[in-house]
Amino acid sequence: MYLDRTTLPQFDEWKLTSTTDGGVALIDKSTNWTSFDVVAKLRGLTRIKKVGHAGTLDPLASGLLILCFGKFTKKISEFQNAPKQYEAVIKLEATTKTDDSEAPEENHTSTLSLTNEQITNACHQFIGVIDQIPPMYSAIKKDGQPLYKLARKGIELDLPPRKVTIYSIVITKIELPFIHLTIDCAKGTYIRSLARDIGALLGCGGYLAALRRTAIGDFRVENAVTVQEIMEQVQVLNLH
């Protein structure tokens, strides 16, 4: 059974089924929550010990996070391997050490000479199977240690590029220095790296200013529920 916008009123039934047979929850993660925060909160609300998520979202990102409970944790890899869709906002004219808005801007430039055609052409060069270097501030491990821990110590590594697949990039709005994109991609794609690389190709620098995951496979964020909505439903059930 899936916990989503339509089944939220049957939360107690979903929880019972998930405890015995396993279950899935479609969560609309808010910004400033880590994916682990969401797992920990739902573990507490459901009292189901075995809970895992199918694909990390950075704290500054919002959107669809799929959680698996009990026996359904075996299905996590199926969700992880599904294609993803994101709505991203790239800010040009600067870079940051984290490739997103978590770190201060540096290397300020100008986009006065940039045309919409140049921006479109640059974005389209990243469609297909491409080589992408992951951001240093990521959970990828080097010798057993996450890269972001090394980066916070000031240790920078020359990371090898990885093959990733971007199915489509649609520019929904250009309001310089901001570019709004809808991106469909395969597992393992870093949108922060894409923002950095588009800015580098345009010669003005760029970083990821905002990110929202809108789909994982056939699952859409419009059908997901927030942690707050689940907490409110639990309170309603406890009052009866």
From CA 68, how far away is CA 240, in angstroms rounded? 27
> For the stretch 4-26, what's the b/e string if a residue is b when 16 or more beta carbons lie within 10 angstroms of its beta carbon?
beebeeebeebbebbbeebbbbb
Question: How many CB atoms are located within 10 Å of the residue 62 CB?
Answer: 22
The beta strand positions in the chain, using DSSP E, are: 2-3, 23-29, 51-53, 62-69, 84-92, 128-132, 141-142, 145-146, 162-175, 178-185, 206-216, 219-220
55: left (phi over 0), alpha (psi -120 to 50) or beta: left
Burial class from Cβ neighbours inside 10 Å (0-12, 13-18, 19+) for residue 218 reads exposed
184: left (phi over 0), alpha (psi -120 to 50) or beta: beta
From CA 75, how far away is CA 166, in angstroms rounded? 24
Query: Which residues participate in catalysis according to the annotation?
Result: 58
